[in-house]
Structure 1
Amino acid sequence: MLKLYHDPISPNSRRVWITLLEKELEFELVEVKLDGEQFQPEYLALNPFHHIPVLVDDGFKIVESLAILDYLEAKYPKPAMLPTDAKDLAIARMAQLVTVNELLPAISPLFPMMLGLGEGNPEKIEQAKQKASTVLKFFENLLDERPYFGSQNLTLAEVVAGTVVPWLPRGSVSLSDYPKLSAWCDRLMVRPAWQTTEATPEMIEAFKSRMAARMAQTPIS
């Protein structure tokens, strides 16, 4: 059986979790608490880079979430979650890679607000919002009259971008200026896979407690 090592707060983990659900595969979830478990020898044997997620399929270990998504799409092609048309495939890939390479790094100063941990440096927050706005405008233009990026059906672009963009309002980044993107988020949020994997208040509080304990153990230099 497929086994996913993950953290429920992590968008990297969640994109794999959603894909497993959308493809209706049988799998086992193993939570890795990011307060040190990722550095334990047992986990380092799965991923020497101590990141999540890791997918294990009959002893075969796959790290890096985008590689995991490609593996799942190739091995379990029904339902198809990537377009075959060259232009549409490029649209889906752009949404994936812009999320990973541009949006996620840019909004790191907003993570404390998203998780209810307070605000950080105002200048960095403003810079993060401006960078997020650039990505949101790009996504708004990338969406056409179809419900999903480059497709009438859900794609891997949705499971990547759709685990980040809907969280932006928690970081005071409004989607009101992006009607197509806002409607796209609404379509995703009613899907059972999104609802099943949405972080509960209890999960967020547990994560906050672990982070607070970890920070308390970190010596101040």
Structure 2
Amino acid sequence: MLKLYHHPISPNSRRVWITLLEKGIDFELIEVNILDSKYLKPEFLTINPFHHVPVLVDHGFNIVESLAILDYLEAKYPTPTMLPIDAKDLAIVRMVQLATVNELMPPTIILSSVILGLPGGEPDKIEQSKQKISIVLNFFEHLLDNRPFFGSDSITLAESVAGSIVPWLTKGGVSLSEYPKLCAWCDRLIARPAWQKTQTPEIIEAIKSRMAARMIQTP
């Protein structure tokens, strides 16, 4: 059986978790506490020397980097398909994946203190982050056509990647009201069982409490 080493609040992990569920693949979910020193123990480093999640283990074959894992799953488990065959549609999926990783995630990380409801964060940097995020959201809005998903009538790997971040942006004060297609897309995603199952609000609350406690203890 496949083993997925993950952490609930990692969007990189969640995109793989979602894909496994959408494809109906049997797997074992193994949580790695990235906020704990045990995370850096030699046992985990033998699986991934870069000491981050996710890692997918398939009968002794260790796959790191979430996008590589998604491609592996699509190639090995092609049904249901999550990549379009048409060249234009495939390009749309890839653009959404890479724009999420390269353009959306960096400013979202800066918003993490707001999303987690923690004090701190420089107002100027937060505002700059929101402006960068708006550029990506506008790009996504124009990539969506009359189909329910990016480049397809059925869910794709674009949804696995962008869908692990975009719906959370409202918690950081980013409004989706100017992006009606993207807003409807988010509604479709969060209603799906895979998104419902991978939502972990109790973990978020626990991490918020832990981080707040650390900030109080810091001189």
TM over 0.5: yes
Q: TM-score, normalised by structure 2?
A: 0.95
- The DSSP-based 3-state class of the residue aligned with 1:70 is helix
Corresponding residue for 2:26?
Answer: 26
Partner amino acid for 1:60? F
Corresponding residue for 1:90?
Answer: 91
Matched, 1:15 2:54: no
CA distance in 2, matches of 1:210, 1:48: 27
Change (3 A) 1:209 1:33: farther
Corresponding residue for 2:143?
Answer: 142
Matched, 1:133 2:148: no
Corresponding residue for 2:111?
Answer: 110
CA distance in 1, matches of 2:67, 2:48: 15
Decide whether the 8 Å contact of 2:3 with 2:30 is kept in 1: yes
Partner amino acid for 1:117? L
Deviation per residue, 1:194-216 (Å, 9 max, x gap): 0000122x211222344456667
Decide whether the 8 Å contact of 2:7 with 2:34 is kept in 1: yes
Partner amino acid for 1:20? L
Q: CA RMSD in A?
A: 1.5
How far does residue 118 in structure 1 lie from its aligned partner after superposition?
A: 2.9
Corresponding residue for 1:66?
Answer: 67
Decide whether the 8 Å contact of 2:3 with 2:29 is kept in 1: yes
CA distance in 2, matches of 1:58, 1:216: 44
Q: Which runs of 5+ in 1 are unaligned?
A: none
Corresponding residue for 1:206?
Answer: 206
CA distance in 2, matches of 1:23, 1:113: 33
Decide whether the 8 Å contact of 2:118 with 2:212 is kept in 1: no
Corresponding residue for 1:47?
Answer: 48
- The DSSP-based 3-state class of the residue aligned with 1:107 is helix
Q: TM-score, normalised by structure 1?
A: 0.94
Corresponding residue for 1:193?
Answer: 194
Q: Which runs of 5+ in 2 are unaligned?
A: none
CA distance in 1, matches of 2:211, 2:58: 31
- The DSSP-based 3-state class of the residue aligned with 1:3 is strand
CA distance in 2, matches of 1:104, 1:215: 24
Change (3 A) 1:214 1:5: farther
